[in-house]
Chain A
Amino acid sequence: MLAPERRVDQTQGTARSSNAIQDEQRLLAALRDGDEAAFALLVECYHGSLIRVAMAHVSDRSVAEEVVQETWIAVLEGLDRFESRSSLKTWIFSILTNKAKTRGVRESRHVTFSGVGSTDGEADEPAVDPSRFMASGFWVDHWASPPHLWDDDTPEKQFLTKEGMLYLEKAIQALPLNLRQVLVMRDVEGLGSKEVCAILEITEANQRVLLHRARSKVRQALEQYVGGGRRQP
């Protein structure tokens, strides 16, 4: 049987639950065997992450929940046919992504303004506002207005508050879809680079570009929130 105490080490907010399943082969065998504890573990490990990833596609929470529900049903139905060409985790997230994509497209047809439909139209947007670098001279492209050195508690302390969390969630939601997808999977849910590439069917180089754009935008938002964008006394 799968040790139920594994669930205990997920209580920590930092170590995302998705990393709790280490022995997928054993889990898969147990699932096919009808081991309910194994399925409970799977659900508990991935459900929250799936919700977040679904919400990267569809703006409505209840729609996201439906998509995740559909995903689990598809997982149950496909379990016996699943071949371990990809990992179980990658497979589950791929099912979700496909379902969410379909729903996202359908949803954006009905909703005029949702931010769901935006894609990579801003490929050339710089990571940092160009006005913060020297525009000319010997030190061209070096900092004119360098970032503030955040201390140990910044910005974590600010974002442990309800208001801070809300702001951060909004900053994520404001990202174009393709940036949001990668950021949520990599930085919020802690999936690995290879996993995300397999799920989204993109190259590592492409993923890094998207991830960097996304992180840059969120960093900028946090910098504005913290108020240290331009050096403060």
Chain B
Amino acid sequence: MTRDELKNRAIDYLAGKVTCKEFTEAATDYLEGSQTWLGWVRFQMHLGLCPGCRAYLRQMKKTIHTLGRLPEEPIPPAVRDELLQRFRTGKSR
């Protein structure tokens, strides 16, 4: 470990040591903004010092983004027409 790494880890430790494991368990809390302010600061500090957790967070964000890009289920025209037909007859009764 280099001097800088050692120094960074020491800062991390003093700042209320967040472990990488802890970060990975609470990444959704972090993304959802549901932590306390202090919790958020601790995580911010950890992220600033830890490339592994930065990579992890990026993977999580990209996972979420990729899930959102799954193609939409189209509505078959026949199903749509049938539903509209039902709406029409239902309202004319």
The residues of A with any CB-CB pair to B shorter than 8 Å are: 10, 13-14, 16-17, 34, 36, 39-40, 43-44, 47-49, 51-52, 65, 69, 72-73, 76-77, 126-128, 130, 133, 139-143, 146-150, 154-156, 159-160, 165, 168-169, 172, 183, 187-188, 190, 193, 204-205, 208, 211-212, 215-216, 218-219, 222-223
Mask for B30-41, Cβ within 8 A of A = 1, else 0?
A: 001010000000
Which range holds the interface residue count of chain B?
35 or more
- In the complex, which residues of chain B have a beta carbon less than 8 angstroms from the beta carbon of A17? 72
Q: Which residues of B contact A (CB under 8 A)?
A: 9, 19-22, 24-29, 32, 34, 50-56, 58-60, 62-75, 79-80, 83-84, 86-88, 90-91
Contact B32 A48 (CB under 8 A): no
A187 in contact with B67 (CB, 8 Å) = yes
- Give complex CA distance A211, B26 in Å: 11
CA distance A10 to B72 in the complex (A): 10
- Cα(A108)–Cα(B44), bound, Å: 45
With A48-B74, A208-B32 in contact, do A142 and B20 touch (Cβ < 8 Å)? yes
Q: Which of B9, B26, B64, B73 contacts A187 (CB 8 A)?
A: B64
The 3 closest A-B pairs by CB, nearest first: A146-B52, A141-B19, A143-B52
